[in-house]
Each structure stands twice: as C-alpha cells, then as structure tokens.
C-alpha cells in the first residue's frame, strides 16, 4: 500500500520505494535548523538533512519500526563546548508523533563517541542514525509525523593536568618562568612559575567539577590565597612551607605536590585564582589538575534544539489483519469459531467477544453455564477465560508539545472477563464440567433394572415348581 503524504509542500520529500505489500516503506526527507548549546559553540545555527524511514503496511503483531538517518545539510557544524583532552559523546533524541488509531510518541535515540582531544569549537560528528519502535496489537490506521530533534553533548569522566606554561593560565606581573628544572625536583614537565612579589596572582579558567593546585613544598615558600569563581576557597589559604599538621618543613624544591584540592562543583566553566601573600616569600605554580566526574545526564547548557524547517508532512501506516503471535489459532471445525473482534478494550480487559480462543461446544453457553440440552460428548470444552493472559505493550504519551523526557510505556494486560465453568467432581475423574441433570435416559435405566429383577424372581418360582413336580413323580 502506498504511503499517504499529508500536507506535502515546501522542501519535504516523500519517497516510496517499489516493494511488495508486506515490505512497503516510505522515506521522508526533512530539514532542521539547530540552535543553542553546542550549535552556539560551533557555527551558531546548524542545519541538518535527515531521512525518516517508516513501514506503510503492517500486520497485527508486527513492530512499527522507525529509523532516522542524520546528516549535516551544509558546512555548518556542532562544536565542542570546551577544551576536552579526552573527547566526548554526541547523543541525539528525536520525537515522532503518532495520531489516528494510536495517540502517542516514539523517541528514537542514538549516540557516537568523539575521538581524540578537542578544543572549544572543534567540529563534532553525528551518529549515523537513531531508531525506536512500538508494538501493534490491533488493526487500524495511524499517521507518523516527525517532531523536534535534541542534540546533547556528554563529556567523559577525566583528570587532566594543565602545565604552568599553558596559554589558558593568565599571570599578573612579577612572575618568572623557570624551565629545565632538575628531574629530582619532580616538577611536572620539569618547569614551574615563581614570584616573590606580594599580591602577584595567576588565574585559570577550566571546565569540570573539581580542581587541584600543584606546586613545591619548600621552606622558602610563603602563604597562598585561593579563590574559586571569585569566592574564597575551602580552605581559603595554604602555606607550602608547613606540613599538613602545621609544623615547618625542612624540604627544598620538593615538587609535584598537591597542596590544595576542591570537588563538588557543578559541571561547567569555573575560574581558580592563586595569589602570593607576602613579599620576599616564594609563590609558585607547577600545574593545575582539572577533574570531571562521571555525569548522570548531559549538561543542559550543551543541549541544541532542532526545529523542522520543511513543511509538516506525515506518513500514513495501515495495520491490517494477520497472524497475531500472541493469540492461538482458532479451530476450523463447525463447533468452534474465532471471535471477530480481538482488540483489547480501553480499560485493559477483554470482553467475551474479544477472546481469540474457540467458543464453547453446544453443551455450554458463552457465559460458562449449562445449556438445556445434554452434551453427547464425554469430553469437556475449555472455558474461554482459561486461555493464557495476553500482554500488549504500546508506547503512549500525553498529547501536546513533546518534552525531552523519556517515553512513557503503558502495558495493557488483557484478562478475559468470562466466568469460569464450575468444577464439581462427583465420585469420578474431575472433568471440568458440572454434573448433568437427570433426564429420560436415567428413567429408562431404572425401568430396565426393575424389569430384570421381576424376570429373575419369576424364573426362581418356575424352578421351584419344576423341582416339586420331579419329586412327586419319584414318590
């Protein structure tokens, strides 16, 4: 069956391949404009050309699979939101709206890792495609329409050393860059910055959830004040000329020491500033260590939202009859026939006419009771409600503007409401049937038994007379 394009106009394109009826699909080409988040750190506005592939004909029980190919439309690109030595990950979530026989929404998803180190603005790769599906549990016709796309960036958990000569570090006047330090001093990259000017400072803007200050412990060093985002750090002052317990050190040029650390920052951009407190005392900087913990969700500020710039277009999907794998096949004998309606009721239960199991034999009514006429068959028919419970899963969400929340899934459990047949054993094997009422055949059996008894009695009297006659003759 060919796809029906609704409101086909603008730049949207529907392509229907020539296929058999059981494999018909339609390709819907739609364009998007993406803004905010990683679009801002890239080209500002990023344009995508996408292709949505949807089956146009299905049988009941077949999954409704939605596949969405993603590509950049032109030279615009999403950009890395920060300096990220270990790369990151792009995650794309789409919205596909269903109307007609079903009211709901699918949320195709996909992701791709970004290889190698990146600086802010490095172009990002898109995943090849995203996909989602829903089960079909009844016949009907629905329309599939593409909605918005959301593109997120998730940075990896990491610890990155930033050397003292990194251009991202800003120094005030009075600092000296000391290169080629002895390897025994254990300085990171064998260099460091040093000042003896009171009030001299160094600032570093980083992106992460924590930061460490690394420098030498030395008896000639003086106190250092530390601020994060313009607020005093915790603690606000350290002294590299003392041990952790406050006792003076006897060390000289003991490099590579983590003198101060802070964790628990909200992921994002932060600034750390160190300041030398006393004149003639050494203030030193060897490196900063930037820490990013593993994030549960991508940062909201990195999210780009993509809106449809093609004309709104939908694909009509027809779900017809066919073998339902969740239902048993009905018996083709004259006694049994399948109910014409096998759909679940809105409340999640199945009415008596909706059961796909065979109808009862003439000895039973549809409600499970006895009919006035007796059944000549010694075997019991199975009540419709003894069929296994049928489970239908349909992706359903509230109508309205799609939100970036997860798809809600409603599980409809169809439990037949037909009453069960009463099981009343009467001294024999349990058959699942109620005992039969006494009928004319029972009265015939009683009469036959009485006749046999009378014949037996008469035969006995005749034998007694014959014996008496024989006795008289002998005498």
Per-residue pLDDT of the chain (475 residues; tens, 9 = 90+): 333 333 333 334 344 343 333 458 999 999 999 999 999 999 999 999 999 999 999 999 999 999 999 999 999 999 999 999 889 999 999 999 999 988 999 999 999 999 889 999 999 999 999 999 998 888 999 999 999 999 999 999 999 999 999 999 999 999 999 999 999 999 999 999 999 999 999 999 999 999 999 999 999 999 999 999 999 999 999 999 999 889 999 999 999 999 999 999 999 999 999 999 999 999 999 999 999 999 999 999 999 999 999 887 899 999 997 554 433 333 333 333 333 333 333 333 333 333 344 433 333 333 333 333 444 443 333 433 333 333 333 333 333 333 333 333 333 333 333 333 333 344 433 434 444 444 444 555 556 566 666 766 676 666 666 665 555 544 4
Q: Are residues 129 and 163 in the same domain?
A: no
Q: What is the CATH number of the domain that holds 258?
A: 2.60.120.260
Q: Are residues 22 and 142 in the same domain?
A: yes
Q: Are residues 137 and 236 in the same domain?
A: no
Q: What is the CATH number of the domain that holds 98?
A: 2.60.40
- Domain presence at residue 336: no
- Domain presence at residue 76: yes
- Domain presence at residue 143: yes
Domain count, the chain: 2
Q: Are residues 133 and 181 in the same domain?
A: no
- Domain presence at residue 396: no
- Domain presence at residue 210: yes
- Domain presence at residue 64: yes
- Domain ranges, residue 265: 159-292
Q: Are residues 147 and 31 in the same domain?
A: yes
Q: Are residues 30 and 106 in the same domain?
A: yes
Q: Are residues 169 and 286 in the same domain?
A: yes
Q: Are residues 139 and 211 in the same domain?
A: no
Q: Are residues 189 and 220 in the same domain?
A: yes
Last residue within a domain, chosen from 251, 277, 292: 292
Q: Are residues 254 and 313 in the same domain?
A: no
Hey, what are 296's tokens? 């549960």
- Domain presence at residue 369: no
Q: Are residues 189 and 284 in the same domain?
A: yes
- Domain presence at residue 145: yes
Q: Are residues 21 and 94 in the same domain?
A: yes
């Amino acid at each position: 069956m060919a796809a029906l394009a609704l409101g086909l106009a603008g730049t949207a394109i529907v392509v229907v391949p020539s296929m058999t009826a059981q494999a018909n699909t339609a390709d819907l080409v739609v364009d998007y404009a993406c803004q905010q988040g990683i679009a801002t750190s890239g080209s500002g506005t990023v344009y995508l050309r996408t292709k949505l592939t949807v089956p146009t004909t299905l049988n009941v029980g077949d999954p409704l699979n939605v596949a969405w190919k993603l590509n950049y439309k032109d030279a615009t690109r999403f950009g890395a939101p920060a300096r990220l030595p270990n790369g990151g990950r792009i995650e794309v979530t789409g919205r596909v709206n269903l109307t007609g026989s079903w009211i709901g929404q699918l949320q195709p998803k996909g992701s791709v890792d970004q290889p190698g180190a990146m600086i802010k603005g490095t172009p990002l790769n898109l995943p090849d495609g995203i996909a989602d599906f829903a089960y079909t549990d009844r016949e009907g016709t629905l329309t599939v329409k593409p909605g918005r796309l959301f593109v997120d960036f998730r940075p990896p958990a990491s610890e990155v050393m930033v050397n003292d000569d990194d251009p991202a570090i800003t120094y005030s006047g009075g600092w000296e860059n000391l290169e080629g330090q002895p390897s025994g001093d254990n300085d990171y990259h064998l260099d460091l910055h040093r000042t003896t000017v009171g009030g001299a400072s160094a600032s570093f803007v980083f992106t992460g959830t924590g930061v460490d200050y690394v420098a030498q412990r030395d008896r000639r060093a003086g106190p250092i004040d530390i601020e994060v985002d313009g607020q005093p750090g915790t603690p606000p002052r350290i002294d590299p000329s003392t041990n952790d317990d406050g006792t003076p050190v006897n060390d000289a040029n003991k490099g590579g020491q983590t003198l101060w650390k802070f964790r628990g920052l909200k992921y994002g951009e932060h600034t750390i500033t160190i300041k030398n407190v006393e004149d003639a005392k050494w203030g030193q900087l060897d490196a900063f260590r930037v820490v990013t913990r593993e994030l549960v969700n991508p940062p909201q500020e990195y999210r780009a939202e993509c809106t449809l710039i093609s004309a709104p277009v939908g694909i009509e999907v027809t779900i017809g009859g066919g073998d339902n794998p969740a239902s048993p096949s009905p018996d083709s004998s004259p006694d049994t026939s399948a109910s014409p309606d096998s759909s679940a009721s809105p409340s999640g239960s199945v009415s008596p006419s909706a059961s796909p199991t065979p109808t009862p034999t003439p000895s039973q009514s549809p409600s499970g009771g006895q009919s006035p006429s007796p059944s000549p068959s010694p075997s019991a028919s199975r009540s419709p409600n003894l069929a296994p419970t049928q489970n239908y899963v349909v992706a359903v969400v509230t109508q309205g503007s799609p939100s970036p929340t997860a798809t809600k899934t409603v599980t409809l459990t169809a439990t037949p409401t037909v009453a069960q047949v009463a099981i009343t054993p009467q001294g024999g094997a349990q058959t699942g049937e109620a005992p039969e009422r006494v009928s004319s055949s029972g009265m015939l059996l009683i009469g036959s038994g009485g006749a046999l008894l009378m014949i037996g009695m008469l035969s006995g009297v005749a034998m007694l007379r014959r014996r008496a006659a024989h006795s008289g003759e002998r005498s």
